[in-house]
Amino acid sequence: MCGRKFSHEELTWAEYRDILAIVQPPPNSNFQPNHNICPTQMVPVCVNREGSRSLERMHWGLVPHWAKDTKFAANMINARAETLTEKPSFKPLLNEHRCIIMVSGFYEWQREGKKKTPYKVERSDHQPMLLAGLWTHNDRLAIDSYTVITTAAPDYFTPIHDRAPAILEQAEIGTWMDGGWEEAENLAKTYRGELTATRISSLVNNNRNNGPELLEPIAE
């Protein structure tokens, strides 16, 4: 699962531009750190617009084109890779509505009985994390929204959680954004690289907390 994400101060407009090959900056390219990205927030998302890549702020939690309100969005922050072609909300988006959400990492909670221990999860090489997603537009509500695709977690990660986002490598961006679904489908699978999970404070549990102290490691 991917229920929270974070982008720290090192994730600048220049990083978005250079990694995702975005030509035109968005109207507001002064990106501020967000140490506690929660569902329903507006998040920078890379999409295809008229033959080129665009960075646009979108609602986290898919609001299908047929929805009359956003009440379903909280249950559509993630989309399981294994059932994308079976779900009517996701299947129509697979060919032309794929997107990438670039973040510094995500949070996950390890459950032990009633206890939940939070961890921050990053690439082990500390490069930005490129999450595969799907997006759509709802005319009725005039809202663009997205969902993060999830897969089975790597074996070494399963003690924390059995699901993880579908994470792309930079060399795979072109295939995910521009290729056909038959090619792109192969990228929505368990991450082959290394992830580092670091235990952090329970301050992250409160979505009103949003500062660099959320990322500070604490002793196991």
Which of the residues 10, 46, 86, 108 is marked catalytic? 108
Tell me, yes or no, if 108 is annotated catalytic.
yes
DSSP for 40-84, written as a single string: TSEEEEEEEETTEEEEEEEEES---TT-SSSTTGGG-SEEEGGGT
Which of the residues 2, 46, 122, 172 is marked catalytic? 2
Exposed (0-12), middle (13-18) or buried (19+): which is 35, by Cβ within 10 Å? buried
Sign of the CA dihedral running 90, 93, 98, 103:
negative
What is the phi/psi pair of residue 210, to 5°? -155, 80
Distance CA 165, CA 149 (A): 6
Tell me, yes or no, if 46 is annotated catalytic.
no
Distance CA 213, CA 201 (A): 8
Active site residues: 2, 108
